Amino acid sequence: MKKFLKHIITFIFAAFIALQLVSFLSLYFLRKSHFYKPQYVANTLRDVQLDYVVLGSSTGLTTLNTEQIDNETGLKGFNISIDDTSLGTHYLMLQHFIKNGGSARSLVLVVSPGDLANGDPSISGNDYRFLPYAHKRYVNSHFVDLPSKEAAILKVSKYMPFVGVSYYNAELFYPSLKAAIEPTTRNRFDKKGNYVYPTNGKALEKTKPTKELSLTITNPYFEKIKALCDTNQIKLVVYQPPIYGSKVLGDTGLLPFVNHSDLITDPLLFYDRIHVNRKGRVAASRAFALQLKNL
């Protein structure tokens, strides 16, 4: 019986070590790749002087085309937005950008009324993309500050990476195999960090009158982003992207605020209610480029 238990314990220990090793290698290959936006930022923007970066969720990722803006302004920008995220993750990404040697004169923070008004933020859907940097204090602190089941899994992964890699196996383990073979592969963004929705989304019904939304800032991460920009001499510009059939009312105090909530009224320029399509992105980027020169 003792011999049997010894074999069982030995097997469990060996399996634990094997899982840890495989998970460590998965995160290592991802960390050295361009697959997700945090890795691309860390591996390509170090010591690159940018005039501006665009930071937001899917609306930031798909509304402002930094390549078009650069062509129309002569500036140099990059889109560091990640889809399915909120202000908490934007704060984490800004830290990540700065701590990995990124430098920009201005930050264009793409917001939404709902996220700004959220006084009780939680973990975002794609925060696992920072797991290759779980050993970094600023990343682990993010998981600690936003308690939830997913945050606890990501927090524990600092010491036991197999926990996070196992839980997010489809999002981490399988992409790491792709990253190991083709490390320069990017997941749904171009070389300037942008992504675009096609023009054949679900047709929107024409709506009248315009719905009015109030801008209320209670999310604590907005002030954290502002403070981090102040510390690093980065000018913060707040951008409200187009929302079909809606107009955002309010301001951001002394901060420059570009309110394009009702810039586009044609439903054919939207992919869905909060995302413009390819044609809508051209219109929004052109209008923003004109204003960026004077900010």
- pTM of the predicted model over 0.75: yes
Instruction: Determine the pLDDT at residue 216.
Output: 94
What is residue 5's predicted lDDT score, i.e. its pLDDT? 67
Q: List the domain range (segments joined by +) for residue 226.
A: 2-292
pLDDT for res 1: 62
pLDDT means over runs of 10, the chain (295 residues): 67 76 96 98 96 98 98 97 98 98 98 96 96 96 89 91 95 96 97 92 72 94 98 98 96 94 95 95 98 86
Note the pLDDT of residue 222.
Answer: 98
pLDDT at 72: 96
Q: What is the structure's pLDDT at 18? A: 81
pLDDT of residue 294: 81
Residue 43: Cβ within 10 Å count: 15
Tokens 């899994």 label which residue?
Answer: 153
Q: Which two tokens stand for residue 177?
A: 């195999």
In this prediction, residue 52 carries a pLDDT of 98
Number of domains in the chain: 1
